């Protein structure tokens, strides 16, 4: 078994990855004994693992990469680690770790008893419920490509990233600098349709949409059903929920009516919505989130990123697409639904998002409130929507 794993591991490492390193790569402390990467399917977790493994000074027989969704893997990760340790392996990478049941228990044992470094990746839906493992493994969430990262990959150029405070307080000068280099609106329209996942580099528009649809289907059928113990006969309900979000403007939904229409009770519906959220297919937004209550009604639900609208929705709602982009770029910030304006970020700023004709009417009496406009390159009182794509 181990000989076969080494064979495929070496094949994996022989193919050079894309040289571009994402922002998250530079945030990961690879010096930790156990590092986990958690994120949606297709965002590039495997590429990050390969890029890291190829930086190591170790001989190839001291490195083992194992993809746990492969048909050749029949042993549990603890057994694989035991055998690898005997062979002198110093670092082992487990990709798609959510395919093994009770992986947390095995990782804890590996950490405690073996002098071996582990990096693993898993679905964004995995929850490290074991407190002991949470103290041992350092977990990083891998987001979709930011607009800035998309531009760097597409144009082979380097752009600075900016903190939220910098964008709010100095957006005119920042936008002016960027627009000296590129016409952002042209690229922004393309990003909204086909730019959130790294596989855009190897795809035309049609093949990109086919790959993205496969990402959605695999997330639901292979990950969420397994991790949330959802009956396979209810796959259509999860997919129908996504379609319902396409048909309604942001926040315009009634969960009670949806549960009746689908013939499921409200508790089951909340469980399914939570699963889609954990799988990075939707965002749930709250005015005042009460702890981690599973059954608190969200004030707004959006598809996770703008690209999803183009494969799931026959008629795309431009307001929902704009808000989905805005929320997806602020993944490192605390986001709350606002009853005046659209969103409150970090309990500090209020933002109202809209097209080029949006006014400050709804937020005129609120401190630290700003209009965010689509279809403008540079703003004076208002901030260009595309500029929030330079946060990471």
Distance (Å) of CA 326 to CA 189, 215, 287, 320, 331: 14, 22, 17, 10, 9
Give the pairing of strands 335-337 and 343-345: antiparallel
Q: Per-residue pLDDT for the chain (392 aa), expressed as one digit of tens each? A: 899 999 999 999 998 888 999 999 999 999 999 999 999 999 999 999 999 999 999 999 999 999 999 999 989 999 999 999 999 999 999 999 998 988 999 999 999 999 999 999 998 887 665 556 778 899 999 999 999 999 999 999 999 999 999 999 999 999 999 999 999 999 999 999 999 999 999 999 999 999 999 999 999 998 888 788 888 888 888 888 888 877 667 666 788 888 888 888 888 888 899 999 999 999 999 987 665 556 678 888 999 999 999 999 888 889 999 999 999 999 999 999 998 899 999 999 999 999 988 988 889 889 999 999 999 999 999 999 999 999 99
Query: What residues contact 142, with CB distance under 8 A and at least 6 apart?
Result: 22, 24, 37, 38, 39, 40, 43, 44, 45, 48
How many helices (H) and strands (E) in the chain? 15, 12
Q: Where are the domains of the chain?
A: 2-142, 147-390
Give the pLDDT score at 295: 64
Distance (Å) of CA 313 to CA 239, 300, 354: 12, 18, 20
d(Cα 141, Cα 38) in Å, to the nearest integer? 5
Give the pLDDT score at 137: 92
Give the pLDDT score at 164: 98
Give the pLDDT score at 134: 73
d(Cα 22, Cα 48) in Å, to the nearest integer? 8
Give the pLDDT score at 362: 87
Distance (Å) of CA 272 to CA 30, 336, 364: 35, 22, 38
Check if the beta carbon of residue 356 is closer than 8 Å to that of residue 376. Answer: yes
In the CATH scheme, what architecture does the domain 2-142 have?
3-Layer(aba) Sandwich (3.40)
């Amino acid at each position: 078994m181990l000989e076969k794993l080494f064979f495929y591991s070496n094949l994996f490492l022989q193919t050079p990855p894309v040289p571009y390193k994402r922002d998250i790569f530079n945030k990961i402390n690879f010096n930790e004994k156990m590092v986990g990467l958690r994120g949606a399917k297709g965002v590039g977790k495997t590429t990050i693992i390969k890029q890291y493994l190829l930086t190591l000074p170790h001989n190839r027989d001291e490195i083992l990469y194992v993809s746990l969704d492969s048909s050749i893997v029949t042993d549990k990760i603890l057994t694989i680690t035991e055998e690898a340790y005997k062979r002198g392996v110093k670092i082992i990478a487990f990709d798609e770790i959510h395919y093994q049941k009770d992986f947390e228990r095995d990782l804890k044992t590996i950490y405690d008893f073996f002098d071996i470094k582990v990096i693993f990746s898993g679905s964004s839906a995995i929850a490290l419920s074991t407190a002991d493992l949470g103290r041992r493994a350092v977990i990083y969430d891998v987001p979709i490509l930011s607009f800035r990262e998309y531009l760097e990959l597409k144009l082979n150029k380097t752009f600075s990233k900016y903190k939220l405070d910098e964008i709010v307080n100095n957006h005119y000068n920042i936008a002016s600098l960027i627009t000296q280099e590129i016409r952002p609106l042209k690229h922004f329209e393309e990003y909204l349709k086909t730019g959130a996942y790294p596989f855009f580099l190897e795809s035309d528009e049609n093949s990109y949409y086919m790959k993205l649809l496969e990402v959605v289907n695999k997330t639901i059928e292979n990950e969420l059903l397994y991790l949330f113990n959802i009956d396979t006969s209810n796959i259509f309900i999860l997919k129908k929920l996504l379609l319902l979000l396409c048909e309604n403007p942001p926040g315009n939904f009634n969960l009670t009516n949806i549960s009746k229409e689908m013939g499921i009770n409200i508790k089951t519906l909340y469980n399914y919505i939570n699963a889609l959220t954990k799988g990075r297919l939707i965002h749930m937004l709250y005015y005042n989130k009460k702890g981690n209550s599973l059954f608190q009604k969200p004030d707004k639900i959006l598809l996770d990123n703008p690209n999803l609208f183009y494969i799931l929705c026959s008629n795309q709602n431009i307001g929902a697409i704009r808000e989905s982009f805005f929320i997806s770029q602020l993944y490192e910030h605390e986001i709350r639904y606002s009853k005046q304006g659209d969103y409150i970020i970090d309990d500090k700023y209020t933002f109202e998002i809209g097209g080029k004709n949006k006014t400050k009417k709804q937020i005129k009496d609120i401190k630290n409130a700003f209009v965010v406009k689509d279809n403008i390159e540079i703003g004076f009182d208002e901030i260009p929507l595309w500029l929030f794509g330079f946060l990471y």
